[in-house]
Amino acid sequence: MYARFLVIMIMLTVIPVIVVQVFYTRYFIDLVRNNRSDIARNYAAVISEELLASGYLGGTTSDTIDAELSQFAHMYNGRVIVEDASFVVRADTHGMITGRQLVSEDAILAMQNTEVSVYNTSTDMLRLTYVIHSPEDESVSGLILMYLSCADLTESYRSVAQSMIIIMTIFSIVLIILSFVLSHSLTKPFNTMSSTINRISEGKFDQEVSLKGFTEIEQISDAFNRMLSRLNELESSRQEFVSNVSHELKTPLTSMKIMADSLNMQPDAPVELYREFMQDITSEIDRENTIISDLLALVKMDKTDSDLHIQPVNINEMLELIRKRLKPIAARRDVEISLDAQSEVIMECDEVKLSLAISNLVENAIKYNIAGGWVNMALSKDEKYCYITVTDSGIGIPQESQEKIFERFYRVDKARSRESGGTGLGLAITKNVIMMHKGSIVVASKEDEGSKFSIRIPLRREQTEEVKA
Ligand code: ADP
């Protein structure tokens, strides 16, 4: 990229300089030569009047005119010849052919009223003719042939061109150096970015880029840093999740090992002890199973919502089913479950997943309740949304924990959760399901009074409005 950029920069700067030099100097020399030709013609116009007035073309001699012609010829290091209408040379500043007849091509053309103006590159001379017209009838009465040297012009052109070459060369060198510097400073941020990206691909997420320069580059740098910090967050939450998972999975294994070891160490242990330990081991295995099932459920939910099997579901029936299923468990803990539904609600959703999410809430409401307590499910709707609340008269959740309970493995009271078979994954699963349905879930709770979980889900899938939990 650097090399390409450099070549483009050099092309954009140096080529115009060369083009300007070549064309401008050409144009300049043409302009100066044309100017000389104009001066000569003006001079010829003035002198031709004198020639006519003095009768010079008819043979009258005039020293003044001869002197003037010589002076002009001398001034331009050239030669001036005056001929009459019969091609007889009346004046020649070189004095070589005066009185002789000179029938040159230019003279013939002049007699036909056509003037020429030609620059000869090899001799560096300007050759031009001027036709003298008779003032009476405008007929051709004579002509002036002028040969004027342009050596002085060429000389000054050369020195100008030389200085131009020097100036332009210095200018080009400066531009090339500038191109190097600019290309380097413009491509540097991209190089920095690419090496940072390389380090990230090697798994080193603790990077930060600080690109200075154009606003756009700084914006890229900021956006990149934001992306990096998000990546860091994700990476640390992934690591935390992995360590939590290992810890949770190890706990039942450790207890099983302890029990098995203690049995092994007592070869004469009574059968009752064996039975008791085996029962404990079985319940640890069940617990391990529950954790793994919950984890699998959670991992599945992390995938896209294309896994949802959406269909119209009668939510009243779904909640009634949950109530019936959990009623015996609630009864065992002396907790009453009730269901209030204002009207029939049909919602487009994944029945299995939503049922799991609500069951988790109701199970929690039973688990974290008091003997003689109650759990209430309520269902309502408006044109857009379905509203489900699960309220309990349980132990409540401390204010500072209410934000965290949806995190994986977070438990307010580990012992109580474990005792009641909790894995700390239930609410994380519930929240994932609600998010997949583009809904929201909030909790309101007071310690020793109870908790209320409120869910809002769009009734129809095409309602794409994202709702934050
Ligand atoms: P668990 O398997 O431990 O129940 P959850 O993710 O379902 O895990 O819940 C996380 C924690 O939130 C629980 O351990 C408990 O401390 C608290 N919690 C959840 N629901 C309630 C509730 N209805 N009343 C009181 N505490 C609750």
Domain spans, the chain: 2-157, 217-298, 307-458
Tokens 């939990």 correspond to 469
Separation CA 193–CA 187 (nearest Å):
10
> Would you say domain 217-298 falls under CATH 1.10.287.130?
yes
Higher pLDDT, 241 or 49: 49
Contact assessment for residue 57 and residue 82, using Cβ atoms and an 8 Å cutoff:
yes
pLDDT of amino acid 113: 87
Q: What is the pTM (predicted TM-score) of this model?
A: 0.58
Give the confidence band of 300 by pLDDT, cuts at 50, 70, 90.
confident
Which residue of 406, 417, 445 sits with most ligand 1 atoms within 8 Å of its CB, as the best mutation to test the pocket?
417
The amino acid occupying position 84 is D
Question: By C-alpha distance, which of 105, 154, 98, 104 is closest to 125?
Answer: 154
Ligand 1 atom nearest 423 alpha carbon: 2
Atom of ligand 1 nearest to the CA of 394: 24
Count CB neighbours of 208 within 10 A: 11
DSSP state of 302: T
pLDDT confidence band for 463 (50 / 70 / 90): low
Cα 399 to averaged position of ligand 1 atoms, centre (Å): 13
- What average pLDDT does the segment 280-304 reach? 84
Q: How far apart are CA 179 and CA 187, in angstroms?
A: 12
Task: Report whether pLDDT(469) > 50.
Answer: no
439 Cα to the center of ligand 1, angstroms:
20
**Which of 411, 446, 455 to mutate to test ligand 1, by most ligand atoms within 8 A of the CB atom?**
411
245-259 pLDDT, tens digit each: 888 889 889 999 999
Give domain 2-157's CATH architecture: 2-Layer Sandwich (3.30)
Annotation: CATH topology of 307-458: Heat Shock Protein 90 (3.30.565)
CA atoms within 13 A on the CB side of 462: 0
Residues with CB under 6 A from ligand 1: 360, 364-365, 368, 392, 394-397, 405, 410-413, 417, 422-428, 451
Measure Cα distances from 42 to 56, 75, 120 in Å: 19, 15, 21
Long-range contacts of 8-11 (CB under 8 A, 24+ apart): 9/179, 9/182, 9/183, 10/175, 10/176, 10/179
Helices (H) and strands (E) in the chain, counts: 10, 12
pLDDT of 467 reads 46
Q: For 61-104, how does the pLDDT look when each residue is reduced to its tens digit (9 = 90+)? A: 899 999 999 999 999 999 999 999 899 999 999 988 999 999 99
CA of residue 378 to ligand 1 center, whole Å: 20
The rounded Å distance from CA 278 to ligand 1 centre is: 29
CB 339 within 8 A of CB 365: no
Per the DSSP assignment, residues forming a β-bridge with 374 are 336
Per-residue confidence band for 225, with pLDDT thresholds at 50, 70 and 90: confident
